[in-house]
Amino acid sequence: MSQPPAFGKALKEQEFYLSTDDVLLNNGSFGAAPKKVIEAKRQHELIMENHPDAWYINGNVRNEAYNTSLEKLANFVRAEKEDIVFVENATRGVNDALKSLKLQANDGILLNNFSYSSIKNIAKQQSETLGAIVHSLDIKFPIPTKEEIVRQYTEYMDAHPGIKVAIIDHISSIPSILFPLKELTTECRNRSIITIIDAAHGPNQVDLDVPSYEADFYIGNLYKWGLTCRGCAFLWTAQSHKERIFPVVTSNKYKEPYPGDFVWQGTREEGAFTAAFAAFDFIDWLGRAAIRDYTKSLGDWTVQELSSAWETEEIGLGEDLRAPCLRLVRIPDTKAFPKSIIGATLLGMALREDYKIRVRLFFLEQLVSVTVLINAITVNFVQLVIYLFIVS
């Protein structure tokens, strides 16, 4: 096998279809699949379009690719393949897990102030239809240690004994916090609280060992940092919940034992699943440790450059709570861009339109600052730094 190109510009230009006109500093929203993965998906599409009937009914190519992808995924997350099913995205997997619990009136669902909007809505829907009660822990900054975030959780859970299930991020998106999963699931289990891990941002941003978190359900997006095509995620279910888990879409295998309906959700597009093996091959080609080292040093360097140029600071998180590819630096006060959601939106527009830089900007009220979220895997940061010198 050939040597991979150097990380950054060479990797982006050779291995991705990403536009070279823009500087994409937002991998975290929609990901970007490498050419090799898209090519694997295209090949399957051609085989399927050649013989649609054979693809679904005889299904040798489909089944082999699906199983290979599942096996490589299991190896990638250090889980048993029998405990994993592919789902389209994190929103879908959390729907499946939460709705399988068949909550009753007054059962509590614990979220936090940084839970993702679709996850908040799933809990809200359960509240509106079943009478479940949605709790939101107001996580307070700074968070210097893991123990501090665990303390905030346990204090809240002890004050609200009706909580039946906690939906905890592996890595939250805004602001980005790497949650201490094992410690939190242990505290939940001690209080008989079921845990659903929303790992929209976990896989391949950090190395995974899914069973070791001892959660009840773990849902990981693969299309963001895991370099699969969009529409690819997985749902891991603990042995003790295998009998109760079912997908929200009922189909031909209704009531068949796990994985039952998960493997056949009606006739659908499954290219992102069957081509997922190519993403794991690609990651192994680059080297998991090499990716980790590169993203860590790039993140550290960027934070250092920006915060010293701006005379500001990184968000107040202890070292082991920082997400490697999602780092947050406060932007200095400027007259041009007020400290508000509008200010963040205007600055984002200016970066996009005047400088072709696509970066996520957020106004974090709790911290009273506009914060730039830098999330990248394949890019060259130099242009971002130059622009930000101009603004500041």
Residue whose CB is less far from ligand PLP, 20 or 366: 366
Q: How far is the CB of 27 from ligand PLP (least distance, A)?
A: 11
Sequence-distant (6+) residues with CB within 8 A of 136 are 110, 111, 112, 113, 115
Give, as ranges, the residues between 21 and 80 that touch ligand PLP (CB under 6 A): 29
Provide the token pair at 138: 């107001």
Residue whose CB is less far from ligand PLP, 48 or 376: 376
Q: How far is the CB of 373 from ligand PLP (least distance, A)?
A: 11
Q: How far is the CB of 219 from ligand PLP (least distance, A)?
A: 8
From the list 259, 262, 275, the residue with the least C-alpha distance to 226 is: 275
CA 8 to chain centre: 22
Give, as ranges, the residues between 152 and 181 that touch ligand PLP (CB under 6 A): 169, 172-173
What is the Cα–Cα distance from 282 to 286, expressed in whole angstroms?
A: 6
Give, as ranges, the residues between 192 and 251 that touch ligand PLP (CB under 6 A): 198, 200-201, 221
Provide the token pair at 296: 């860590």
Beta strands, E only, the chain: 23-24, 84-87, 108-112, 133-137, 163-169, 194-199, 217-221, 233-237, 326-330, 357-358, 360-364, 369-375
Candidate segments 61-69, 84-92, 341-349, 356-364, binder of ligand PLP by CB under 6 A: 84-92
Residue whose CB is less far from ligand PLP, 88 or 314: 88
Buried b (16+ CB within 10 A) or exposed e, 290-318: ebbebbeebbeebbebbeeebebebbebb
What is the Cα–Cα distance from 373 to 217, expressed in whole angstroms?
A: 28
Q: How far is the CB of 161 from ligand PLP (least distance, A)?
A: 27
Residue whose CB is less far from ligand PLP, 55 or 91: 91
Residue whose CB is less far from ligand PLP, 95 or 378: 95
Q: 26, 27, 69, 91: which one contacts ligand PLP (CB under 6 A)?
A: 91
Residue matched to tokens 């998180």:
317
Q: How far is the CB of 12 from ligand PLP (least distance, A)?
A: 21
Give, as ranges, the residues between 115 and 144 that touch ligand PLP (CB under 6 A): 116, 118-119
Q: How far is the CB of 304 from ligand PLP (least distance, A)?
A: 26
Residue whose CB is less far from ligand PLP, 236 or 387: 236
What is the Cα–Cα distance from 230 to 75, expressed in whole angstroms?
A: 21
Sequence-distant (6+) residues with CB within 8 A of 261 are 246, 247, 249, 250, 251, 252, 253, 254
Candidate segments 87-95, 268-276, 285-293, 349-357, binder of ligand PLP by CB under 6 A: 87-95
Inter-residue contact 330 to 370 (CB < 8 Å): yes
**Which residues of the shown chain bind ligand PLP in the complex (CB under 6 A)?**
29, 89-91, 116, 118-119, 169, 172-173, 198, 200-201, 221
